Amino acid sequence: MLSWEEIFVLFVLLAALVSFVWERIPTDMTAILVFGILILATFLPFSETLPSLEELLSVFSNPAPLAIGALFILSAALEKCGLIDNLARILDGLTKLGYRGLLVVMVILVALISAFINNTPVVVIFMPVVLTLAKKLKTPASKLLIPLSYASIFGGVCTLVGTSTNILASGIIEAGGYPPLSMFELSKVGVPLMGLSILYLVLFANRQLPVRETLTSILSDEERKEFFTEAFIRPNSALIDKTFRNSDLQKVKGVRLLEIIRNGVAVEEKLADCTLMAGDRLVLACRPSGFVQARSVEGLRLAVEEREGLETISAHEGAIVEGVIGPRSTIIGKTIHELNFRQRFRMIILAIHRRGMNMRERIDTLPLEEGDTILMMGTDQAREQIRRGDDILLLDRPHTSPKDFRKQAPIVMGTMIGVVGSVSLNILPITAAAIIGVAIILLTGVLRPKEAYASIDWSILILIYGMLGLGSAMGTTGLSNHLASLLAGLDNLNLPGNWNLLLILACLYLTSTVMTEILSNNATVVLMAPIAIHLGIALGIDPRPFIIAVCVASSASFSTPIGYQTNTYVYSVGGYRFADFARIGLPLNTLYFVGTVILVPILWSF
């Protein structure tokens, strides 16, 4: 019989799960709300088992999130100095190996890097490289992008620092009084599973992966040939005192109004409803046919034709380029209208691709999300300006780091080797080693403090702390113990040998893998790792095999594009449908499930 405290915490847990699946509220905001509700509950006078305020706040003393934040910074340093770029360029000369040969090299290389670096920047940097290679191979990019994301997951499972879930699980184990995970402990199961997964991709990826077009395919050949030009409204023009919406220019097919410049300043109000005035300079995007028709509009004079005191401005072709909203973007959550995107970036957005949908209508009012792929048109100068920032990651060509930072690569590489080596040799715990590594990066000037802080994905840390608070409440009320007891009850089936324990291990893995496909990997491991520990205690055995299973299941997210962040990125860029991940990913989920259930009891005895 559950106590009212356990029922209350179970209700909060279920509400959080619904919010995660519903996606109307960001996951980090859900975590804050959960933590706030639990704090308010500490003041209830008739509570006996709910955690106290001090117990809830003690989650901030957990060292695991500190280690995760520090590793974000170290990954940013590796990205800045060009080490990942240089490794990515190794693939450039391998197109002669053909599709399967390139696939093998790409997966192994990305997995190796992802075993020691945060997965997201690795995939983000490799995406333009893969798109370029796909063109050279004359192969759809959709045949390579999902394997790119999967490769980062393969590598992340293999080491302690490969993914934040492993660090969190290690911290929870240590808090429970057990030895933390060693640097390469998970390699014993991760490496064999990775080898089998690579074999599966080589044999079946080309057949199972769909042929999907990128976002530019929604444009016709005519639309891709839009040109920019400028025109001005002559005195006594019939366009004066009319809005663009009601003018003859609006009736011309193949013409877009991008900007109105009045007295040297861009007009900020809604362009379609702006009243035109004599002398206004209009920035237009015209298809070839529209360019010709625009010249015939009465009272409108193209700047290239004007010779009466105004500078001649040549028409130039508008470059169409795809970009993805990056993990450190400052424009996430804002609409195109709020950003004044046209003036800020000197580009216009033609379409947005999000989770299998191409959106071309009412995009001005659509809040941008991380991982959105946007189709933009603008000048070469505007495109290069965007390339220098972190808000939009362009996919037209591989990223190139400034040469000034490459001389710092030995410092960063030496620091990373020191961090991994000191943890592997049990000289330092992961948190201490990572923080020392960050100190070296900052002292040597590889990153400025502002850059370091900006490289941390604070939403993930907030999610972790919120879920740690919920995990604490589940532990103090006894809910974790009750849930573990339900699984432990399978031991009463009296199956021969260790089949009872194998069944329990399988159920724990399946529960974790389903949760990680619909939630996040970090939320899953924070909620399931304590249950794994209580399960071992209830059965009177070492809980480590159960913890290892939870670690693997929490990271092995292959069947949906929402369970793992890298899947979400390639989902938009590759133009995939939701079912595409299930088709190629379900066999991988099955492989990891069967492989874990077989290998874990052999490598970590009950």
Q: What is the mean pLDDT of the chain?
A: 85
The pLDDT value given to residue 405: 61
| HEC letters along 116-134 | CCCHHHHHHHHHHHHHHHH
- CA–CA dist 419, 71 (Å, integer): 10
Q: Please report which confidence band the pLDDT of residue 291 belongs to, taking 50, 70 and 90 as the band edges.
A: low
Residue-wise pLDDT for 547-572, tens only, equals 999 999 999 989 988 778 888 888 87
Residue 307 has pLDDT above 50, yes or no: no
Residue 288 has pLDDT above 70, yes or no: no
319-399, superfamily in CATH? Regulator of K+ conductance, C-terminal domain (3.30.70.1450)
- CA–CA dist 223, 226 (Å, integer): 6
Q: Phi/psi at 332 (nearest 5 deg)?
A: -65, 135
Q: Are 107 and 201 in contact (CB under 8 A)?
A: yes
Strand partners, 281: 232, 261
Q: Please report which confidence band the pLDDT of residue 477 belongs to, taking 50, 70 and 90 as the band edges.
A: very high
What's the longest Cα–Cα distance across the chain? 97
Q: Are 569 and 123 in contact (CB under 8 A)?
A: yes
Residue 401 has pLDDT above 60, yes or no: no
Query: Which whole-number Å values give the CA distances from 171 to 15, 66, 525, 534, in the listed order?
Result: 26, 11, 11, 15
Q: Are 329 and 374 in contact (CB under 8 A)?
A: no
Supply 567's token pair: 């899947």
Residue-wise pLDDT for 204-231, tens only, equals 999 999 887 666 655 555 555 566 677 8
- CA–CA dist 137, 98 (Å, integer): 7
For the segment 98-103, the average pLDDT, to the nearest whole number, is: 92
Q: What do you get for the CA distance between the two ends of the chain, in Å?
A: 29
- CA–CA dist 433, 445 (Å, integer): 19
- 227-317 CATH fold: Alpha-Beta Plaits (3.30.70)
Q: Are 64 and 170 in contact (CB under 8 A)?
A: yes
The pLDDT value given to residue 290: 67
pLDDT-wise least confident of 75-79, 85-89, 152-156, 330-334? 85-89
For the segment 511-533, the average pLDDT, to the nearest whole number, is: 89
Residue 524 has pLDDT above 60, yes or no: yes
Q: Phi/psi at 537 (nearest 5 deg)?
A: -65, -45
Q: Are 506 and 593 in contact (CB under 8 A)?
A: yes
The pLDDT value given to residue 321: 82
SS3 159: coil
Q: Phi/psi at 307 (nearest 5 deg)?
A: -130, 15
The pLDDT value given to residue 314: 45
Strand partners, 348: 377
Of 585, 579, 548, which Cα lies nearest the Cα of 564?
A: 585
Residue-wise pLDDT for 242-275, tens only, equals 888 888 888 777 788 878 888 878 887 778 888 8
Supply 591's token pair: 């492989």
Supply 209's token pair: 């992966």
- CA–CA dist 476, 482 (Å, integer): 11
CATH 3.30.70.1450 residue window(s) in the chain = 227-317, 319-399
